[in-house]
C-alpha cells in the first residue's frame, strides 16, 4: 500500500473501516495528500514496520492516532514532516524498535519516549508469533498467564479468557 494516496491533493474520504491489518509497508501513504483529515484511529497498525513519510506534506491532517499499536515499527523518518497542522500527543506510543528521535519526525505535539514503552504498557510475545500490547485496566486484574497459550482474568466484573 506504499504511496497509495501520494499527491492526492483533493482526497478527504472516510476510509476508517478499511482492513489494513496485513500490510507492513505504509511508507508515503498520505504523502502530500494535502486535504486529508479523516479519523483513522481504529486502524490496526500492529504489523507495520516501515512508517517513513506516511503523513509527510499532509498539511491538513491532525487526527488523534495515539491508540495505534506501533510497537513493530522500525522506521518513522519524516512521518509528520511538513504535516503543518499535526500536533497530537503520541506519548503513549510503544516504540521499542526505534532508539532515538527519527530524522525529521515533525510532530509539534508530545512525542514518544524512543526505544521504550510507557511504564503502563508491555508487549508480551509468544512462540507462535502472537503479540499482546497491554494497557492499565481500571477495576481489573489479569489472574493467570499459562504456557503461552491463554490469558484469563477479570475486567469490569466480567471474566475473560484470551487464547493465543
Last residue of a domain, one of 85, 103, 118: 118
Q: Quick one: pLDDT at residue 154?
A: 54
31 and 87 part of one domain: yes
Shared domain for 110 and 129, answered yes or no, is no
The verdict on 59 and 106 lying in the same domain is: yes
> From edge to edge, which strands make up the β-sheet containing 140-146?
140-146, 150-155, 158-163
Answer whether 55's CB lies under 8 Å from 62's CB: no
Q: What is the mean pLDDT of the chain?
A: 81
Q: Say yes or no: 104 and 138 in one domain.
A: no
Task: Verify that 59 and 30 share a domain, yes or no.
Answer: yes
One domain for residues 129 and 110: no
Q: What is the pLDDT, as a whole number, of residue 144?
A: 46
Residue 143 pLDDT: 46
Q: Using an 8 Å Cβ cutoff, are 113 and 88 in contact?
A: no
Rounded distance, CA 75 to CA 79, Å? 9
Same domain, 99 and 156: no
Domain span at residue 98 reads 1-118
List per-block mean pLDDT (blocks of 10 residues) for the chain, which spans 164 residues.
90 95 88 97 91 96 95 94 95 91 92 80 50 48 49 54 54
Residues 133 and 74 placed together within one structural domain of the fold: no
Q: What is the pLDDT of residue 23?
A: 84
84/127 same-domain check: no
Sequence-distant (6+) residues with CB within 8 A of 157 are: 139
Could you say which of 82, 102, 118 is where a domain stops?
118
pLDDT at position 136, please? 47
**Domain check: are 159 and 94 in the same one?**
no
Task: Please provide the DSSP assignment of 130-148 as one string.
Answer: -EEEE---TTEEEEEEETT
If one counts every other C-beta atom within 10 angstroms of the C-beta of residue 67, the result is 12
Residues 133, 72 share a domain: no
21: left (phi over 0), alpha (psi -120 to 50) or beta: alpha
Same structural domain, 100 and 31: yes
Q: How many domains does the chain have?
A: 2
Amino acid at each position: 500500500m506504499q504511496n497509495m494516496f501520494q499527491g492526492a491533493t483533493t482526497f478527504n474520504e472516510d476510509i476508517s473501516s478499511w482492513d489494513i491489518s496485513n500490510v507492513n509497508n505504509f511508507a508515503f501513504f498520505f504523502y502530500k495528500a494535502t486535504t486529508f483529515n479523516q479519523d483513522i484511529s481504529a486502524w490496526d497498525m500492529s504489523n507495520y514496520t516501515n512508517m517513513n513519510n506516511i503523513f509527510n506534506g499532509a498539511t491538513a491532517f491532525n487526527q488523534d492516532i495515539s491508540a495505534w499499536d506501533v510497537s513493530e515499527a522500525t522506521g518513522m523518518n519524516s512521518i509528520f514532516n511538513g504535516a503543518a497542522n499535526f500536533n497530537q500527543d503520541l506519548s503513549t506510543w510503544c516504540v521499542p524498535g526505534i532508539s532515538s528521535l527519527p530524522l525529521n519526525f515533525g510532530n509539534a505535539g508530545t512525542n514518544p519516549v524512543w526505544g521504550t514503552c510507557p511504564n503502563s504498557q508491555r508487549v508480551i510475545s509468544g512462540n507462535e508469533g502472537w503479540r499482546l500490547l497491554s494497557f492499565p485496566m481500571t477495576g481489573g486484574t489479569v489472574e493467570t498467564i499459562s504456557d503461552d497459550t491463554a490469558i484469563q482474568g477479570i475486567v469490569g466484573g466480567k471474566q475473560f479468557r484470551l487464547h493465543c
